[in-house]
Amino acid sequence: MTHVRNAGKPFAARPQDPVPRALVLLALVDVGLIAAHLLFWAALRGRSNAVDSLTNLESESSVGTWWSVVQLLAAGVGFALVGLARHRCSGDRVARWFGVLAGALVVASMDELVQVHERFSVLATRLAGNGPFQDTGPWMLVLGPLALVVLAVLARQVAVALRDDRRAFGLLVAGGIAVVAGAAGAEIGRNWVDHNSAGWALQVAVEEGLELSGASMLVLAGLSACASGGVRLTLASAPNTAAELSSAGDSGFLDLTDGAVGSEASPAQADAVEPLVGSPIRAPSPDDR
């Protein structure tokens, strides 16, 4: 719930579904980065300079790499909030799996920046050689299937909690598959493409485009899960009295201002925090356990 206090007078506004607007913003940024990559490559023809390092999606110092890091980290934070809300309200084991999912996304964000998988590729090359993968190394043959297995396990574990929000579940699965397909699938083509050709620029655009769009879907999945799970961002001035502080968290939903979660809500409060998608966090059923 968005809660704004002005001169001690609370004003509660029913929020709109955040996913459609976020979808437009994320799509514009993703398309803009891919377009910049292709346009500047055509203009510079692979000549390395300051502009190329910023727009070339292949470069680890590009704006596109930074954006992927931000997306994966934001998705992880979103699912961490869902797990925290579920843990406080129901305490079932699914909350822990949301935490594992959030951790996996944070690790993926870190890997996008520090390139841990590239170091694994060096080790794999020393043990088995590059074979036909002279440019990338064979890392994707091991880490690609492993990433899909991890995705399948996590999706299965949180499926019960997201059964009332099929949008979030669908975005989670589709986003994860797109990220893995780009990182471990499309990258294979780089081994047989001339780096000075237009085909290379297109191959990188496809590879990074899959990763960017997949990360965007993961962010949207986190937003949708927050909306359906009762997580509300609260913007409020500092409470002036102890009574005001004690009443800040009596809605039964996760309050990100003071972290309090109550057990009962007045009719007005319940109406103000009505979930945007699906239903709020509920007590666990036997199926959840």
Claim: this prediction has a pTM higher than 0.85: no
Give me the pLDDT at residue 238, please. 53
Rounded CA-CA distance 124/137 in Å is: 8
* pLDDT, tens only, 19-77: 999 999 999 999 999 999 999 888 876 566 677 778 888 888 889 999 999 999 999 99
- DSSP 8-class letter at 232: B
Q: How far apart are CA 225 and CA 220, in angstroms?
A: 8
Question: Nearest-CA neighbor of 264 among 250, 275, 280?
Answer: 250
Most confident of 129-138, 206-215, 222-231, 268-277: 206-215
**CA 85/CA 265 separation, integer angstroms:** 16
* 28, burial (CB in 10 Å: exposed 0-12, middle 13-18, buried 19+): exposed
**Strand 9-13 relative to strand 2-6, pairing:** antiparallel
Residue 168 has pLDDT above 70, yes or no: yes
Query: Is pLDDT at 186 greater than 90 in this prediction?
Result: no
HEC per residue, 196-230: CCHHHHHHHHHHHHHHHHHHHHHHHHHHHHHHHCC
Report which listed range, 214-218, 272-276, 278-282, is most confident: 214-218
Q: How far is CA 237 from CA 212, 231, 252, in A?
A: 36, 19, 21
Dihedral pair phi/psi, residue 9, rounded to 5°: -105, 110
Helix, strand, or coil (residue 144): helix
Task: Please report the pLDDT score of residue 135 as a whole number.
Answer: 66
pLDDT at 163: 86
187: closest CA among 213, 212, 205? 205
